[in-house]
Amino acid sequence: MSEPALPKHFLQHFVKSTVNELSQDNLSTVLTKAGLPSDWSAPSRWEDFEGLAAAETYAGIQKAIRTYYGRGARGTLLRVGSGLWKRLLENASLVVKTKSKIIQGLPVNARRKPTLDLLANLIGAQRGDVSVHTLDLDLLLSDKSSPGTLEQTETGPICFVTLGLLQESLYWSTGQEHDIEENSCRANGENACEFKITVSGELL
* pLDDT tens-digit map of 8-53: 999 999 999 999 999 999 999 999 999 999 999 999 999 989 999 9
What does the pLDDT average to over 84-99?
Answer: 96
Break the chain into its structural domains and give their ranges. Answer: 10-198
Up-side HSE of residue 139: CA atoms within 13 Å toward CB?
A: 21
Least confident of 53-57, 124-128, 178-182: 124-128
Confidence grade of residue 203 (pLDDT, cut at 50, 70, 90) = very low
**Global confidence as pTM:** 0.95
Q: Name the percent of the chain in helix, strand, coil, to the closest 5.
A: 60, 10, 30
**C-alpha gyration radius of the chain:** 16
| CATH code, residues 10-198 | 3.90.1520.10
pLDDT of residue 200: 65
- The type of residue at 65 is I
**Res. 60: pLDDT tops 70:** yes
pLDDT tens, residue by residue, 162-184: 999 999 999 999 999 999 999 99
Distance from C-alpha of 29 to C-alpha of 68, rounded to nearest angstrom:
9
**Res. 140: pLDDT tops 70:** yes
Distance from C-alpha of 175 to C-alpha of 151, rounded to nearest angstrom:
36
